[in-house]
């Protein structure tokens, strides 16, 4: 899932300064799971903003609404009435949701209430860890299901650097070395010979180095119904 965390409250207050009618728009999927941008968080944040405005003597009316996903157009239609009635929208979705809201409501100022961190997993209640860097060319078949792009600090593809020690990364001794994890995993699978296979230089155009990415279903391509953008 996409993991995000709410921006510092003082930063949000400064961001909305000058607006008299605000919508706090929550997202009910990924960021609700990590307790950053769901219905409960939207309600709490809206209440905090109302209280802060009252205490500082500012005029501010805060509306709130949470949709299932801000990254799908059909769910954004649920927000039309409230978006039309406010000066600005504070979206507590991921960066995709904020940008898609800005596209749909082009004449409204859409502000980000979260910092989007990574795609990750839930290790335990309240603890999330990055697992995927969305590189566009998955090599997990060669590394025992552990991603060196996301879990090696240097994104190395052919084994660990010289700085790892005792299974820990030189970036911080509280961090596992991604390649130490890969080696142990390959051993446990009886596939350690994969470690000796040299991975050729990577074509990073499948990642962000190639610019904005799009995925279009093959049947839509064939029908000429959609052009990547």
Question: Does any domain span residue 123?
Answer: no
Same domain? 112 vs 163: no
Using DSSP's 3-state secondary structure scheme, residue 109 falls into: strand
Same domain? 93 vs 185: no
Domain total in the chain: 2
Which range (1-15, 17-31, 132-146, 198-212) has the least confidence? 198-212
Same domain? 87 vs 173: no
Question: Does any domain span residue 209?
Answer: no
Same domain? 141 vs 100: no
Same domain? 8 vs 105: yes
Same domain? 163 vs 188: yes
Same domain? 166 vs 94: no
**Per-position DSSP letters for 7-71, written without gaps between them:** PPHHHHHHHTTT-SEEEEEEESSHHHHTTSSSHHHHHHHHHHHHHHHHHHT---EEEEEEES-TT
Residue 151 structural domain: 135-204
Give pLDDT tens digits for 102-158: 999 999 999 999 999 999 999 888 899 999 998 888 999 999 999 999 999 999 999
Same domain? 46 vs 82: yes
pLDDT of 221 higher than 80: no
Same domain? 104 vs 38: yes
Same domain? 80 vs 182: no
Question: Does any domain span residue 69?
Answer: yes
pLDDT of 71 higher than 90: yes
pLDDT of 226 higher than 80: no
Average pLDDT, integer, range 13-41: 96
Same domain? 8 vs 96: yes
Give pLDDT tens digits for 178-198: 999 999 999 999 999 999 998
From residue 76, give the alpha-carbon distance in Å to each of 23, 27, 103, 144, 226.
13, 10, 11, 40, 21
Which pLDDT value is given to residue 91? 98
CATH code for position 18: 3.40.50.2300
Choose the final residue of a domain: 59, 91, 118: 118
Average pLDDT, integer, range 191-207: 86
Same domain? 11 vs 113: yes
CB–CB of 132/25 below 8 Å? Answer: no
pLDDT of 227 higher than 60: no
Question: Does any domain span residue 42?
Answer: yes
């Amino acid at each position: 899932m996409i993991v995000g965390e709410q921006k510092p409250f003082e930063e949000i207050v400064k961001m909305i300064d000058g607006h008299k009618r605000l919508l706090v728009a929550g997202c009910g999927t990924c960021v609700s799971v990590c307790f950053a941008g769901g219905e409960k968080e939207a309600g709490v944040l809206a209440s905090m903003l109302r209280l802060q405005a009252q205490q500082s003597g500012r005029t501010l009316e805060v509306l709130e609404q949470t949709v299932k996903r801000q990254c799908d157009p059909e769910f954004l239609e649920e927000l039309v009435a409230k978006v039309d009635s406010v000066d600005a929208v504070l979206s507590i979705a991921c960066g995709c949701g904020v940008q898609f809201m800005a596209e749909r409501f082009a004449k409204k100022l859409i502000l980000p209430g979260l910092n989007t961190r990574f795609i990750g997993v839930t290790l335990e209640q309240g603890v999330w860890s990055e697992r995927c860097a969305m590189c566009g060319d998955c090599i997990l078949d060669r590394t025992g299901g552990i991603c060196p792009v996301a879990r090696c600090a240097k994104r190395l593809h052919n084994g660990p650097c010289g700085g790892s020690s005792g299974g820990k990364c030189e970036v911080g001794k509280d961090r596992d070395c991604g390649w130490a994890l890969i080696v142990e995993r390959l051993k446990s699978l009886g596939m350690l010979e994969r470690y000796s296979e040299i991975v050729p230089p990577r074509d990073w155009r499948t990642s962000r180095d190639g610019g904005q990415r799009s995925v279009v279903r093959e049947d839509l391509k064939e029908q000429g119904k959609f052009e990547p953008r």
